[in-house]
């Protein structure tokens, strides 16, 4: 019986990965709902759980591909590989409507530029302060400070190693969680009480999960305004990260 | 049909990546330059074009949105395949970079929002509401002073 289950799992790696990731996200959503009362988004907990599982996988196999090095979870390498990742990210652009995008206007664009460049500078600065000098590493960590999606996409595009990409994901995930938890706390300080302010917030704070969860905890009516600008954030970061920002870092430190 | 949406998405993806490769070759970078971002712009443009002409059927849209909704699961799978052990050894970089960028963003949000409030670019603050209020009913009537 056990042997049959194991054979089925090993014969169908991608399908197993779908079922497994679904289970991880379900458990994460339950934890988010019951333990944090929805304050931390389930998706952020799921990503953290993924990183924890990768740590566990790496610890027991001693290899570099996290949980995917455990034979039963090999399908994760295909599901979470570069092809599927970039494909699904491009698909998220479908949620942006041109007419609504025009409403966000120059204010959203300004926030978007600042929200990409400022965290990037901070990320590069911190990495530099800790002794990193390689432009690829500096850029990947800086991009991770933009969002946990921009980090790995930029890192993959410019040829960063898996450990640097993991570090940039960790940076982005920690930032997303900070945004979720502390947005309601700093809402008054940020004057976060009208649609335009929410758009500025969406552009500057970045990460879609952080922005939507943070705004939901502040005032649900602000969510679409913030999320609208924030959905541009990943694409904008993915456009700038491996191109202008990488070239700038290369010119400065290369 | 659903496959038309997925095929459109795939075409935009491939075109974006090819353009990204082209730019990389032009400027002499050994990596794809902004291919994913360009693919996103292409998808937005293609979708807008088809919607205007009524060629973007509901089923077609489903072929795109399914993959858009799969992005968080894919990112979870990606996280589970990273070399986390090595990242942990590299120390407090992640925490400091995250906290630092969050702090600087909060300061700039506060600054910009105070300025647009003074300059009357921002709409009036929303009225406080009870938790069971339907937020959707407010969005269309929110005043826009710009």
pLDDT, one tens digit for every residue, chain A (254 residues): 889 999 999 999 999 999 999 999 999 989 988 987 776 667 777 877 888 898 899 899 988 788 999 999 999 999 988 889 888 878 877 776 566 556 556 788 889 899 999 999 999 999 999 989 999 999 999 999 998 888 988 898 888 998 899 889 888 888 887 887 788 778 888 888 888 888 889 889 877 767 877 777 777 677 767 777 776 777 788 888 888 999 999 999 87
Instruction: Looking at the structure, tell me whether residues A127 and A68 fall in a common domain.
Output: no
- B120 CB neighbours in chain A (<8 A) are none
Apex CA A51: angle with CA A88 and CA B30, to 5°?
A: 55
pLDDT of residue B86: 64
Inter-chain CB proximity A91 and B9 less than 8 Å: yes
- Among A80, A111, A126, the domain-final residue is A80
- Within-domain flag for A111: yes
**Distance, CA of A113 to CA of A109 (rounded, Å):** 6
Please give the Cα distance from A205 to A197 (Å, whole number). 12
Q: Are residues A90 and B112, on separate chains, in Cβ contact within 8 Å?
A: no
Verify that A37 and A106 share a domain, yes or no.
Answer: no
Among A46, A80, A114, which residue terminates a domain?
Answer: A80
Domain co-membership, A134 together with A159: yes
Query: What contacts A254, CB < 8 A, 6 or more positions away?
Result: A135
* The pTM of the whole model exceeds 0.90: no
A86 domain residue, yes or no: no
Where are chain B's structural domains? 1-82, 84-124
User: Does position B28 have pLDDT exceeding 50, yes or no?
Assistant: yes
Q: Is residue A205 part of a domain?
A: yes
Q: What is the pLDDT of residue A101?
A: 54
Quick check: B101 and A219 CB within 8 A?
A: no
* Total domain count, chain A: 2
Q: Which of B13, B31, B123 faces A196 most closely, judged by CB atoms?
A: B123
Confidence at residue A221, expressed as pLDDT on a 0 to 100 scale: 73
Per-residue pLDDT at B33 exceeds 70: no
Residue A210 belongs to a domain: yes
Domain end (from A52, A80, A108) = A80
- Tell if the CB–CB gap between B97 and A126 is shorter than 8 Å: yes
For residue A130, which residues of chain B lie inside 8 Å, CB to CB? Answer: 90-91, 93
Nearest beta carbon to residue A76 from set B77, B90, B113: B77
- Considering the domain architecture, whether residues A57 and A153 belong to the same structural domain is answered as no
Nearest Cα of chain B lies from the Cα of A15 at a distance, in angstroms, of 12
Q: What angle do CA A40, B64, B56 make, to 5 degrees?
A: 130
Whether residues A11 and A75 fall in one domain:
yes
**Chain B residue at shortest CA distance from A240:** B34
Partners of residue A229 in chain B, C-beta under 8 Å: none
Q: Taking CB atoms and an 8 Å limit, are B102 and A167 in contact across chains?
A: no
A60 and A1 within one domain: yes
Domain extent for A41 = 1-80
Write the residue in A92, A163, A191 that is nearest to B110 by C-beta. A191
Q: Which pLDDT value is given to residue A2?
A: 87
* Longest CA–CA separation in chain A, Å: 62
Shortest distance, CA B10 to any CA of chain A (angstroms): 7
pLDDT of A196: 83
Residues in A closer than 8 angstroms to B37, CB to CB, are 235-236, 238-240
In a domain, A113, yes or no: yes
The answer to whether residue A91 is domain-embedded is: no
Which chain A residue lies closest to B120 (C-alpha atoms)? A196
- Please report residues of B whose CB lies closer than 8 A to that of A24: 76, 80
ipTM of the complex: 0.73
In this complex, the residue of A166, A174, A186 whose CB is nearest that of residue B82 is: A166
- Are A141 and A253 members of one domain? yes
Q: Give per-residue pLDDT as tens, A4-33.
A: 999 999 999 999 999 999 999 999 989 988
A237, A172 in Cβ contact below 8 A?
A: no
- Distance (Å) from the alpha carbon of A234 to chain B's nearest alpha carbon: 8
Q: Are residues A169 and A54 in the same domain?
A: no
Closest CA to A91 of B22, B30, B2: B2
Q: How far is A127 from chain B (nearest CA, A)?
A: 6
- H helices of A188-222, in order, are 195-205, 208-218
Q: Are residues A175 and A234 in the same domain?
A: yes
Residue A40 falls within a domain, yes or no?
A: yes
- At B80-96, the pLDDT tens digits run 887 777 666 656 888 89
A60 exposed, middle or buried (CB, 10 Å; 0-12, 13-18, 19+)?
Answer: exposed
């Amino acid at each position: 019986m056990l042997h049959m289950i194991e054979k089925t799992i090993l014969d169908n790696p991608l399908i197993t990965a779908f079922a497994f990731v679904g289970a991880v996200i379900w458990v994460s959503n339950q934890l988010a709902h019951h333990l944090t009362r929805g304050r931390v988004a389930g998706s952020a907990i799921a990503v953290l759980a993924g990183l924890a599982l990768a740590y566990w996988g790496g610890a027991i196999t001693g290899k570099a591909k996290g949980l995917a090095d455990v034979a039963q979870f090999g399908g994760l390498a295909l599901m979470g590989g570069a092809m599927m990742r970039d494909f699904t990210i491009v698909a998220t652009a479908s949620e942006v409507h041109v007419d609504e995008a025009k409403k966000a206007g120059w204010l959203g664009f300004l926030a978007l530029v600042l929200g990409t460049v400022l965290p990037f500078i901070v990320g590069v600065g911190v990495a530099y302060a800790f002794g990193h000098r390689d432009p690829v590493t500096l850029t990947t960590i800086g991009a991770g400070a933009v969002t946990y999606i921009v980090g790995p996409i930029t890192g993959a595009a410019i040829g960063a190693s898996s450990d640097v990409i993991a570090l940039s994901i960790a940076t982005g995930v920690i930032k997303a969680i900070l945004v979720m938890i502390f947005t309601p706390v700093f809402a008054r300080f940020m004057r976060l009480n009208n649609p335009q302010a929410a758009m500025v917030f969406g552009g500057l704070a970045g990460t879609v999960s952080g922005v939507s969860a943070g705004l939901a905890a502040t005032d649900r009516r602000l969510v679409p305004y913030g999320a609208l600008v924030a959905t541009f954030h990943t694409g904008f970061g993915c456009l700038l990260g491996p191109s202008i920002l990488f070239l700038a870092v290369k010119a400065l430190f290369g | 049909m659903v496959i038309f949406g997925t095929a459109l998405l795939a075409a935009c993806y491939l075109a974006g990546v090819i353009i990204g490769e082209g730019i990389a070759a032009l400027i002499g970078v050994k990596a794809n330059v902004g291919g994913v971002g360009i693919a996103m712009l292409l998808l937005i443009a293609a979708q807008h074009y088809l919607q205007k002409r009524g060629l973007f059927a509901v089923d077609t849209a489903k072929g795109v949105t399914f993959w858009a909704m799969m992005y968080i699961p894919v990112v979870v799978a990606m996280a589970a395949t990273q070399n986390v052990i090595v990242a942990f050894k590299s120390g407090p970089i992640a925490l400091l970079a995250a906290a630092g960028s969050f702090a600087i963003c909060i300061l700039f949000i506060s600054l910009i929002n105070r300025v647009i409030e003074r300059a009357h670019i921002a709409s009036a603050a929303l009225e406080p509401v009870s938790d069971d209020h339907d937020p959707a009913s407010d969005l269309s009537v929110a005043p826009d002073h710009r």
